[in-house]
Amino acid sequence: MIRLTMFSSAEKVKGQGVASAYRELINLLFNQTDLYDMKINTYRSADISHYHTVDLPFYLSTFSKKRGIKVGYVHFIPETVDDSLQLPKWFRRFFYSYLISFYKRMDKLVVVNPAFISKLEAYGITKDKIEYIPNFVSNQTFYPLDATERHAIKEKHVSTHAFTVLGAGQIQQRKGVLDFIEVAKKLPEVQFIWVGGFSFGKITSGYKELKLIVDNPPKNVLFTGIVDREQMNMYFNLADVMFLPSFHELFPMTILEGMSCERPILLRDLELYEDILFDYYLKATSVEGFVEEIIQLKSNPEYYEAAKTSAARGAYHYSEERLSEIWKDFYYDLAGNTT
């Protein structure tokens, strides 16, 4: 049995994917008491210490021999922070230097997208220290409801007859929220919902412009604000399509959540999706392209069902069952044990 300690403050900030990814892994490992003796944010002796966030006390703890093998979860790098937050230049330089120093303190880094490997190498981290393990979601948390249940929640939150398009995540420029709004304007007969808010408040990139839109959206657009993750299965099920027009991403948990609910997934055509999402999603490069895809999904039942089937295949590929074995192999290989 591996003595495994998790270090994280991710759940202090609601409505962001790092917390969701952390919670999924914690739930998975808590159910495997025969494999792991797991503790959270304690400084006991451990075989493996797994760092999910880069807090200063966690950084200082890496100098203790009690930490065992140190694993760092790479949810972001300097380039992605630039796209998300407006930080003072002096603080940005300090934080980025600190971030890379934190990663270099690790014995092993886990990235959620293989595109990060070359970027970390550019910061002087050798490739043999980096492992790619994708995010996943549990089908006990995210799952399709039956037709009767879907009808009931649509009746409560939107018109039961409205074709509904769901976006989810933090409200940031990089998430493509402005394009989400433009698509909605071109499809006034379609209901659009964005679940999420300004998790980091006024330092969010593009805050002023986005706040004006959130406060005065088109008639067919609803911004819910930040909601508890327990409510997200309901929102995915009342939607007909999950639409995320991000310009830059890592490996959004919302995509996996939508797939697990068997919603067709529509994304911007980004290179970083090619090696992780394969043919599980629909894609376009512009507002016009997104509009065409949504119209096709709305009007062509065969096209819609094919997109649902693709999403379901994606859900299986990134299922809890499959990733459970990958994490077990990873931890036991590191600890030098046999299963």
Quote the pLDDT of residue 148.
92
Tokens of 334: 């590191």
pLDDT for 13: 67
pLDDT score for 200 = 63
pTM: 0.85
Residues 297-334 pLDDT 10s: 999 999 999 999 999 999 999 988 889 999 999 999 99
Query: Residue 44: helix, strand or coil by DSSP?
Result: coil
The chain-wide mean pLDDT, for the chain, equals 90
Given a contact cutoff of 8 angstroms between Cβ atoms, the answer to whether 305 and 250 are in contact is no
Provide the pLDDT for residue 131.
Answer: 96
**Other beta carbons less than 10 A from residue 203's beta carbon:** 12
Predicted pLDDT at 339:
44
Euclidean distance between the first and final Cα of the chain, in Å? 9
pLDDT above 90 as % of the chain: 65
Which phi and psi angles does 191 have, rounded to 5°? -90, 130
pLDDT for 128 equals 95
Write out pLDDT tens, residues 261-285. Answer: 999 999 999 988 988 899 999 999 9
The confidence score (pLDDT) of residue 232 equals 93
**Above 80 in pLDDT, residue 173?**
yes
Q: Are 4 and 29 in contact (CB under 8 A)?
A: yes
Residues 139-169 as b/e (b if ≥16 CB within 10 A, e otherwise) read eebbebbeeeebeebbeebbeeebbbbbbbb
- Tens-place pLDDT, residues 178-221: 999 999 999 999 999 999 877 666 666 678 888 999 999 999 99
pLDDT average, residue stretch 64-81: 88
pLDDT band at 338 (very low <50, low <70, confident <90, very high): very low
